[in-house]
Amino acid sequence: MTLLDTAYSTLVSNQLLVGGIGTLAFGSLMYVLRAVPQTVLDIVEKTAWTTVSVENMSNEYRDVDTFIEGRRLDFFSRSLEIKDGHLKTGFGGGWGTYDGTLFKYSKTRSVQRLTHIETIDVSFLTRDRSIVERFMKDSRPEEHRNSIYISLYSATGNDGGLRRRKRGLNTVFVDQAIKDQLVKRLTWFLDAEEWHSSRGIPWKLGIILHGQPGEHGG
């Protein structure tokens, strides 16, 4: 029995008090008081923490997964899994520290889609958003900073992936006018997330090139 429950039982047995304010009014008051702690926790959750979410379809997912592993507080974080022959952060939640700041993480998997989606949510006990930028930057190993991770999927789910070095525009053999048009389109797209969101349009872009290297594409 909680302290509020005890207080309720004690006070409601006082007929003088009940007669004065009424059982219904007193019960309503105690209901409000019981809700206060959770309300306070909700306010703290929204104002004291800064959160970043990373899905397994992004290039950063595996780097963040590995980075957390080395900064977990083992006493509070006992969930592990084997991936690629190594122990990694398991599904569930835990705690860790980064740059002197406490963080909590939650690793979940969505099973409501044909292709399952894994998500890592990391919340830092600070309102300083720059810590997220530093965390994401530091989580990427030096050998990965000039590469991308290509995830492979099939009807049965995630089939792993491949890491490939990034290629410069000088390795894209296409007519210069077409290349300039592509760069212009991509630059606009990268800055247009809010434009898509405000119109309810998915922020996705598909480009198809065809023909021999050096020929016009469309």
Q: Which of 3-7, 35-39, 181-185 has the lowest mean pLDDT?
A: 3-7
Contact (Cβ atoms closer than 8 angstroms) between residue 165 and residue 147: yes
How many whole angstroms separate alpha carbon 91 and alpha carbon 78?
A: 10
- pLDDT given at position 113: 56
Note the pLDDT tens digit of each residue in 163-213.
666 677 777 777 888 888 888 988 899 888 888 888 888 888 888 877 776
pTM of the model: 0.52
Say how far residue 61 (Cα) sits from the centre of its chain. 10
Continuous H helices in 49-192: 61-69, 130-139, 176-190
What is the tens place of the pLDDT at every residue in 48-62? 889 999 988 777 888
Supply the pLDDT for residue 76. Answer: 72
